[in-house]
């Protein structure tokens, strides 16, 4: 009975407070306008903890951001070498070397190393990008010392066992075989190749050709490692529940004996901008969809037009409410989604607009692509401009929700030599972009008459419609022209 009385009193109290708040906020003569969504407030500011910078005794830079809310630590060892460092006849070497690092290190083989990492509740992963590679550790704070020993072994004492190389070789040949049935992958590879050529790192695949995959040796891996894994070519990023003096000493103990060496500079081949418009059609008989990929050379990360280009592309194809998606998906129903993006790299990366559309409307969808690429060069409305800037600004803090996400952002800070206050000023810089700057960026970087149009689809069904559009000459390819023959996995 007492319990029931308590529950009844609590309920009455709650309802009284609820209706009191409702009465205060909505007076008898006031009505709530539900015909339009409520107005958004101003985008939130981003105020991150200070970035601290140190150097170990061997000159190895350390970048630290303390985050004490959760007892977790993220440590990324960033090496300033990646796919651009692949020898011309060994494309895919950087990626394979990184994959091999955690397949045996120190006194542990691959299984023993994996077991030791799992036992700690930690994660260690490796990856190679275009210009940098990464070995990352995510660990509970109370396991940091033990996890740091494993990270140190992987970075400084990889063993490159022959048996693991053969296993990864077969995995990559299997991946290459699977690519033959993946139109989106085929389109991506041919787009990069058309824009940059096969001899440019931006134009090659991450895993290399079948010939390269079969040719890789342990000596190749060791040479790449010894040439590029140097403290004067690396940096350590730490984010998490640690104090500067303690973590720097731990890193000194782990990596202080890493010896510096002579760096081999890399100069990328000069790339010519697309001068005309042409179609590259890859025949995929029986394909239910056509993949459309429209590309040209974009701009580098370190450009004064970065913010304007980002806002402009958000309006064109960088969000669900963008013009491309609204046109091709919402208005015409040609696709589940359409968009565009700039890949900002050290050298000018590509601009790409793409979608997978129903086969029978390939020409119509391409026509709408070209319409939007032309229209974005005209002044945008104030509403579109405001919506695009708010979209970017409101989403930006999501990049800093976890320690590993923050570490990713700090890698960009190092790679592109951005100022320490870059993150805290980012939203303000986005909101300052004007309509005039957006139009100037579109005029400069979106040139519909100078693009490569890559289409992967059923040639018999889509070629007539494409010819009738008169967009330019059509070059024809088979899947094998793009990827080579399907690997024979029995060899």
- Alpha-carbon dihedral 190, 188, 183, 319, rounded to 10 degrees: -140
What CATH number does the domain located at 278-483 have?
A: 3.30.830.10
Q: Both tokens of residue 191?
A: 């787009």
- Closest to 83 in 3D by CA, of 196, 206, 171, 197: 206
Backbone angles phi, psi at 176, to 5 degrees: -60, -40
- Closest to 337 in 3D by CA, of 291, 384, 305, 278: 291
Predicted confidence at residue 40, as pLDDT, reads 64
**Dihedral sign, Cα of residue 96, residue 100, residue 101, residue 102:** positive
* 359 vs 372: CA distance, rounded Å: 20
Per-residue pLDDT of the chain (491 residues; tens, 9 = 90+): 444 444 455 455 544 544 444 444 544 555 666 777 666 666 667 889 999 999 999 999 999 999 999 999 999 999 999 999 999 899 999 999 999 999 999 999 999 999 999 999 999 999 999 999 999 999 999 999 999 999 999 999 999 999 999 999 999 999 999 999 999 999 999 999 999 998 899 999 999 999 999 999 999 999 999 999 999 999 999 999 999 999 999 999 999 999 999 998 999 999 999 999 999 999 999 999 999 999 999 999 999 999 999 999 999 999 999 999 999 999 999 999 999 999 999 999 999 999 999 999 999 999 999 999 999 999 999 999 999 999 999 999 999 999 999 999 999 999 999 999 999 999 999 999 999 999 999 999 999 999 999 999 999 999 999 999 999 999 999 999 999 999 998 87
Provide the b/e sequence for 416-439 (b: ≥16 CB within 10 Å). Answer: bebeeeebeebbeebbebebebbb
**Dihedral sign, Cα of residue 172, residue 83, residue 411, residue 338:** negative
**Alpha carbon separation from 151 to 32, 145, 232 (Å, rounded):** 58, 10, 18
pTM: 0.89
Q: Both tokens of residue 356?
A: 């997978």
Provide the b/e sequence for 194-209 (b: ≥16 CB within 10 Å). Answer: bbbeeebbbbbbbbbb
Predicted confidence at residue 22, as pLDDT, reads 45
Residue found by looking up tokens 């022959």 in the block = 162
Predicted confidence at residue 26, as pLDDT, reads 47
Q: Both tokens of residue 391?
A: 């979209």
Q: In terms of DSSP bridges, do strands 278-283 and 474-477 run parallel, antiparallel, or are they unpaired? A: parallel
- Closest to 96 in 3D by CA, of 218, 266, 236: 218
Q: For domain 52-255, give its CATH number from 3.30.460.80, 3.30.830.10, 3.30.465.10, 3.30.420.40.
A: 3.30.830.10
Stretch(es) of the chain classified as CATH 3.30.830.10: 52-255, 278-483
Predicted confidence at residue 54, as pLDDT, reads 97
Predicted confidence at residue 32, as pLDDT, reads 61
Backbone angles phi, psi at 476, to 5 degrees: -110, 140
């Amino acid at each position: 009975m007492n319990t029931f009385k308590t529950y009844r009193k609590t309920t009455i109290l709650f309802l009284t407070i609820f209706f009191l708040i409702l009465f205060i906020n909505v007076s008898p003569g006031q009505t709530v306008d539900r015909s339009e969504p409520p107005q958004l407030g101003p985008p939130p500011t981003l105020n991150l903890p200070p970035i601290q910078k140190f150097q170990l005794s061997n000159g190895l830079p350390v970048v630290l951001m303390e985050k004490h809310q959760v007892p977790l630590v993220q440590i990324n060892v960033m090496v300033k070498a990646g796919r651009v460092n692949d020898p011309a006849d060994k494309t895919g070497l950087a990626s394979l070397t990184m994959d091999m690092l955690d397949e045996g290190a120190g006194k542990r083989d691959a299984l023993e190393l994996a077991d030791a990492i799992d036992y700690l509740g930690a994660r260690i992963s490796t990856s190679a990008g275009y210009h940098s590679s990464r070995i990352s550790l995510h660990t509970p704070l109370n396991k940091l010392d033990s996890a740091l020993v494993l990270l140190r072994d992987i970075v400084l004492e990889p063993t490159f066992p022959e048996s693991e190389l053969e296993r990864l070789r077969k995995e990559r040949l299997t991946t290459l075989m699977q690519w033959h049935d993946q139109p989106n992958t085929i389109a991506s590879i041919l787009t990069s190749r058309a824009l940059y050529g096969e001899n440019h790192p931006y134009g090659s695949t991450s895993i290399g050709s079948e010939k390269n995959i079969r040719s890789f040796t342990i000596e190749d891996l060791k040479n790449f490692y010894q040439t590029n894994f140097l403290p004067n070519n690396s940096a350590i990023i730490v984010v998490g529940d640690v104090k500067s003096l303690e973590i720097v000493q731990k890193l000194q103990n782990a990596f202080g004996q890493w010896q510096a060496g002579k760096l081999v500079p890399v100069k990328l081949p000069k790339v010519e901008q697309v001068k005309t418009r042409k179609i590259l059609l890859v025949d995929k008989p029986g394909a239910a969809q056509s993949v459309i990929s429209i590309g040209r050379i974009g701009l580098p990360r370190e450009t004064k037009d970065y913010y304007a280009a980002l806002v402009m592309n958000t309006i064109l194809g960088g969000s669900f409410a963008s013009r491309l998606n609204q046109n091709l998906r919402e208005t015409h129903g040609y696709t589940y989604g359409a968009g565009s993006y700039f890949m900002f790299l050290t050298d000018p990366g590509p601009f790409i607009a793409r979608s997978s559309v129903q086969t029978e409307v390939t020409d119509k969808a391409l026509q709408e692509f070209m319409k939007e690429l032309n229209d974005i060069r005209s002044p945008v409305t104030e509403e579109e401009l405001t919506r695009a800037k708010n979209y970017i600004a409101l989403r930006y803090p999501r990049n800093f929700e976890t320690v590993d996400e923050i570490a990713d952002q700090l890698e960009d800070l190092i790679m592109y030599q951005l100022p320490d206050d870059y993150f805290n000023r980012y939203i303000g810089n986005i909101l300052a972009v004007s309509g005039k700057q957006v139009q100037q960026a579109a005029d400069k970087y979106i040139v519909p008459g100078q693009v490569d149009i890559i289409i992967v689809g059923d040639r018999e069904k889509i070629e007539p419609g494409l010819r009738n559009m008169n967009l330019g000459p059509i070059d024809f390819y088979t899947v094998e022209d793009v990827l080579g023959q399907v690997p024979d996995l029995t060899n």
